Structure 1
């Protein structure tokens, strides 16, 4: 009798465990997580029920911004016999919106973590294409901008007029920029940390970001190498620049120690690298501008570099404005102005350099024999 009772308890436990296991494994999946639609266009995605044999329940789709998209139907009733539905998405205004979900009408454990959909609605496909073209154009302009300075140094066999503080800040900035891009793009563990922190985000680093950063570092190192090969006069890196770089080095060294002791993640360290890069971008033009002012000349400082940098900066901001207009996403500029502000700051300095070269010191911009 005791043996029979024990067997019944065992079977009941096994049945309960199996029921919990099945309900835990049950989930709902969507056919896509990203959908791009033109204004007034209707798109579709599918939702599928997996591993379910319990009573019926209702899946409720939640729209983040119901003024941007409309779902038909907004909810569906799943059952063991009805496991798949197609949902229509109507784009009613430009912008970005997310779709999430919850379930009602059941006590079963149903995983809806896979139910999220990012929907972007644009006004004009031509503007979308134009923004891509502009993006690659300013990428090329910024990439080529390093070579006029390299050529001038080679032709003159001299780097007099090229500020060494600018070069030292620039190379450190691009190294840190490359570390951030390569780490987030090419190291799976760091990318996993990013998606854990932003589970519904997109990796912000693209291949062209990696290529540009590495190329910029190599080109700047080549320019620094010319400083050891060609005439440089009494130019050297100032104590001020060394002090600033020392502060940045101490900050990043402490960050590395905190990563090594598991206080911070590698992702945090990469973001600290990006913050230092932003700080360097804000100050790196000042030494060269002051040097031109002190010498009352821009000889040795490539105006071609400035013109290409100016072109890239203008096109970068233009792309942001086009995207903001096309998607009604002005928050990306005015809500988080870092990228736009840095582009504007660079353009302002480029204009100042052009004024120095073509107006203030145009009569002194010649080579002495």
Structure 2
């Protein structure tokens, strides 16, 4: 039964893909001319000049007028506008003319002020395919700030990647996972699995990429290779910790009924949606993937709450890796620093507020990190643990008391 269902899904995938390909090819055949820029992205500084080439095919048999704008002149009324509305760049003409038999034309631009814009090219010839006649242009105050941003990006990428391993080491050293909340683990593995589905499918699936380009023309794909690598690594590392929970001492710890119910509902809903997607037009695979990302965001908001409450009930952070938190705090802080640097470099402060979800989630994660740091170094710094059992006593003990106890190990 399952095999028949799987074959049915594969068949629907093939039909949908072929239909999309044929539709795209028919659209190209209907086009009299096709305009395409030699590059899709250009990064320059203020007062820096550069150029790109516009290609036209087939060779025109008539004079073709081109209009350049930083808005979207896809309707006839917009095409007749004599303003380019380009404020971050200049140095180009609003109108260009391609003579018969000319296949290319070079267009020069110059950075005017910091910002980001999309230069769009249109023509007066009806039926011309101009969907690839655009260039995304970034004008920076200083390219050196971009370099600093890249370095910061790699540092927080490494910090977040390494942050998974201190918890593994503590579990292995103690031969116990007591102190690590299982609700947190259940939420964490689900969040990272959903994050992996989103990144892998959007990065590798040509069908979903086509859906993205159709919905968001001239936009940059929001997933890069490092996002895919990080997501897969996060699932791997979290899975190792879960395996440790089956091997080492865990007392009576288990996932709470509330989290089991929540995760069960989430997985069932997504399984049902996977069946619905191939049979509808209003709900496609891209929308399905974005649902994964929304759930991941929601999990990121709530996943630390069970661990913080667990620490409070035990009056201890023993068994919970503070190194993990310090690395996560480092990565989150550098991520926000990079965001502000780029906003300054491109005078693009609105991006922070337009992408408030990312900014807000970063702040929430940092606030939880601060809470865990306070719990570990201030509130429960004197919690003790028995070496013989590796279990937390849940008692706060003064420094003088610690000196009189032989079988004490502090979590440091």
Given the two structures, how large is their TM-score scaled by the length of structure 1?
Answer: 0.89
**What secondary structure does 2:52 align onto?**
strand
1:250 to 254, 257, 268: 268
More off after superposition, 162-171 vs 111-120:
111-120
Q: Give the structure 2 partner of residue 215 of structure 1.
A: 233
CA distance in 2 between counterparts of 1:361 and 1:56 reads 79
Q: Give the structure 2 partner of residue 11 of structure 1.
A: none
CA distance in 2 between counterparts of 1:241 and 1:273 reads 18
Deviation per residue, 1:243-278 (Å, 9 max, x gap): 221231233123212214235212111111111111
User: CA 1:249/1:98 → structure 2, altered by over 3 Å: closer, same or farther?
Assistant: same
1:316 to 315, 331, 335: 335
CA distance in 1 between counterparts of 2:310 and 2:375 reads 11
User: CA 1:260/1:82 → structure 2, altered by over 3 Å: closer, same or farther?
Assistant: closer
1:117 to 101, 119, 135: 135
More off after superposition, 275-284 vs 24-33:
24-33
Shift in Å, 1:114: 2.6
Does 1:235 find its partner at 2:253? Answer: yes
**What secondary structure does 1:48 align onto?**
strand
CA contact (8 A) 1:33 1:117 kept: yes
Q: Give the structure 1 partner of residue 221 of structure 2.
A: 203
Does 1:178 find its partner at 2:185? Answer: no
Does 1:79 find its partner at 2:99? Answer: yes
2:322 to 265, 287, 303: 303
Deviation per residue, 1:208-232 (Å, 9 max, x gap): 1111111111111110111111110
1:145 to 155, 163, 185: 163
CA distance in 2 between counterparts of 1:22 and 1:172 reads 45
User: CA 1:355/1:24 → structure 2, altered by over 3 Å: closer, same or farther?
Assistant: closer
Does 1:54 find its partner at 2:68? Answer: no
- How many residues align? The count is 347
Shift in Å, 1:332: 1.7
CA contact (8 A) 1:71 1:87 kept: no
Does 1:30 find its partner at 2:37? Answer: yes
Q: Give the structure 1 partner of residue 308 of structure 2.
A: 289
Does 1:41 find its partner at 2:48? Answer: yes
Does 1:350 find its partner at 2:350? Answer: no
CA contact (8 A) 1:171 1:221 kept: yes
User: CA 1:109/1:230 → structure 2, altered by over 3 Å: closer, same or farther?
Assistant: closer
CA contact (8 A) 1:298 1:365 kept: no
Deviation per residue, 1:49-93 (Å, 9 max, x gap): 332443323211112352111142221122215543321111111
Q: Give the structure 1 partner of residue 243 of structure 2.
A: 225
CA distance in 1 between counterparts of 2:351 and 2:238 reads 31
CA contact (8 A) 1:313 1:346 kept: yes
CA contact (8 A) 2:163 2:324 kept: yes
User: CA 1:53/1:93 → structure 2, altered by over 3 Å: closer, same or farther?
Assistant: closer
CA distance in 2 between counterparts of 1:258 and 1:45 reads 44
Does 1:331 find its partner at 2:350? Answer: yes
CA distance in 2 between counterparts of 1:362 and 1:109 reads 72
Shift in Å, 1:23: 9.1
**What secondary structure does 1:216 align onto?**
helix
CA distance in 2 between counterparts of 1:159 and 1:200 reads 49
CA distance in 1 between counterparts of 2:48 and 2:288 reads 43
5+ unaligned residues in a row in structure 2: which ranges? 1-27, 72-84, 388-406, 408-412
Shift in Å, 1:148: 0.5
Q: Give the structure 2 partner of residue 94 of structure 1.
A: 114
